[in-house]
Amino acid sequence: MKPFTYVRATSVAEASRMVVAGSAPLAGGTDLLGLMKGGIASPARLVDLGGIDGLNGWSRERGAGLRIGALTPLVDLETSDQLARHLPIVREALRDTATLQLRNAGTVGGNLLQRNRCWYFRDAAIQCWLKGGTQCFAKEGENEHHAIIGTARGCNRVAPSDLAPALIAHDARVTLTSTRGTRSVLLADLFTDPALHSREEHTLRRGEILTEVQVPESGLQRRGTYLKAMERKTWSFALVSVAVAARIRGGKLRDPRIVLGGVAPVPWRVEAAEAEIDGHPFSDDLARRAADLLLADAAPLAKNGYKVPLAKELVRRALARIAAA
């Protein structure tokens, strides 16, 4: 690990001023420290956000949706029975996230902004496209964990967060604050696609701090669920995960969302798939049609073809589950 200096910010404004080129914001550190030890990130300065008041915890105001502070430890969301009544998908998603130790240290903001787990990306000796190189080593290489869809350019990484698909399924937004001001974007738009030729994974601009997640009232009215396929029962990123959410009216799925993790460089949504089921009662056949549309453009690599049937099956089960609940 390269030597670095450490400062502690006491306000968002101060943190934003401090996060200049060469500096990295530090929250739980569960991803950043690993990146630093592995030689993937080498910030000269860490700006610890832990001393900033007001970013830890969540609140629910009737009519104003749900707000979750970016520094809230994952474990606090996972274990809150009250939150589970408002937005049960969060607990479902977090229960299988990382390990209890990591959920104790990790934060909501850090989870959404974590870097991908591609084993080529995580090897400092490999100069892949995402790190400024010319090629994706996974494309012709060891790609069983890689993307099957949405990989238009040189990167076959997959979006690693469990929380992101779950929150996107409820139309979450995030607040980004910098010295230039504050903006609110859809969480789905926080993630950037390699198809856009960006060698970033997030659309965060320099100096911007993710301060809050909001779930609008309409999002809270959906019933959601999260399913995750793993290679062992804990401490395993998703082979495929799926978050679905919909309002159930008269046995029909309304305004549904289907978001996949582990299959594409960003949490994967296809509006046509959602339109296909909108207004219909659940059936296996309906779910199959939606899953087919969701994965219509799938182009698996040599070793990850299994993700297609796996994703389709998880979509079917998740939809069945919310329809039956």
Partner 1 sequence: MEQLALVQGDDAEAWAADAVLTIVGRPQRRVEGAAKVTGRARYTHDIRLPGTLHARILRSPHPRARVRHVDASRALALAGVRGVLHRFNTPKTAFRGEETIFREEVRFVGDEVAAVAADTEAIAEAALSLIVVDYEVLPHVVDLEEAIDAASPRIDEKGNVLDADRYERGDVRKEFAAADVVVEGTYRTSTQLHNSLETHGAVAVWDGDQLTVYESTQHVFGVREGLRNALHLPLANIRVLCDHMGGGFGSKGGIGKYTIVAALFAREIGAPVRCVLDRHEENVAAGNRSATLQRVRAAGKDGRITAIAHESWSNVGQARWVADPTGPTKGLYDVPNVLAHAHRVLTNTGSLAAFRAPGYVEGTFALESAIDELADGMGVDPLALRRRHAGSQVDPVSKMRYSLKRLVDCYDIGAEEIGWSRRARGGLRGSAPGLRRGLGMASQLWSGGGTPPAYATVHLNPDGTAVVRIGTQDIGTGTRTVIAQVCAEELGIDVRGVRVEIGDTDAPYAPISAGSLTVASITPAVRLAAKDAREQLLDVASGVLEVGRAELRVEGGAVVSRGARTPIAKVFEDLENYTVIGKGSRMPNPDDIVLKTFGAHFAEVEVDPATGMVVVERVVAVHDVGRIVDPLTARSQVEGGVIQALGFALSEERVVDKPTGRVLTSGLETYKVPTVRDVPRIVVRFVDVPDTVANNVGAKGLGEPPIIPAAAAVANAVANGLGVRIRHLPLTPRRVLDALAAAS
Binding site for partner 1 (CB under 8 A): 1, 3, 99, 117, 119-120, 123, 125-126, 137, 141-142, 144, 229, 231-236, 239, 303-306, 309-310, 313-314
Nearest-approach distance from CB 129 to partner 1, in angstroms: 15
Q: Which is nearer to partner 1, 75 or 185 (CB)?
A: 75
Q: Which is nearer to partner 1, 98 or 266 (CB)?
A: 98
* CB proximity list for 8: less than 8 A, separation 6 or greater: 47, 48, 50, 51
Q: Which is nearer to partner 1, 114 or 214 (CB)?
A: 114
Question: 270 vs 22, 257, 289, CA distance in Å?
Answer: 37, 9, 12
Nearest-approach distance from CB 286 to partner 1, in angstroms: 17
Nearest-approach distance from CB 74 to partner 1, in angstroms: 17
Nearest-approach distance from CB 46 to partner 1, in angstroms: 17
Q: Which is nearer to partner 1, 3 or 63 (CB)?
A: 3
Nearest-approach distance from CB 142 to partner 1, in angstroms: 5
Nearest-approach distance from CB 231 to partner 1, in angstroms: 5
Question: 257 vs 21, 150, 174, 301, CA distance in Å?
Answer: 37, 18, 18, 26
Question: 286 vs 129, 208, 276, 297, 302, CA distance in Å?
Answer: 39, 42, 8, 19, 29
Q: Which is nearer to partner 1, 130 or 188 (CB)?
A: 130
**Which helix (DSSP H) or strand (DSSP E) does residue 319 occupy?**
helix 307-324
The three-point CA angle 202-91-254 to 5° equals 80
Nearest-approach distance from CB 181 to partner 1, in angstroms: 38
User: Do strands 252-261 and 240-249 pair parallel, antiparallel, or not at all (unpaired)?
Assistant: antiparallel
Contact 26, 9 (CB under 8 A): no
Q: Which is nearer to partner 1, 117 or 254 (CB)?
A: 117
Q: Which is nearer to partner 1, 95 or 254 (CB)?
A: 95
| Dist CA 22 CA 171 (whole Å) | 33
Nearest-approach distance from CB 11 to partner 1, in angstroms: 33
By CB neighbour count within 10 A (0-12 exposed, 13-18 middle, 19+ buried), where does 82 fall?
exposed
| Dist CA 157 CA 245 (whole Å) | 25
Q: Which is nearer to partner 1, 218 or 234 (CB)?
A: 234
| Dist CA 225 CA 68 (whole Å) | 19
**Which helix (DSSP H) or strand (DSSP E) does residue 316 occupy?**
helix 307-324
Residues in the chain: 325
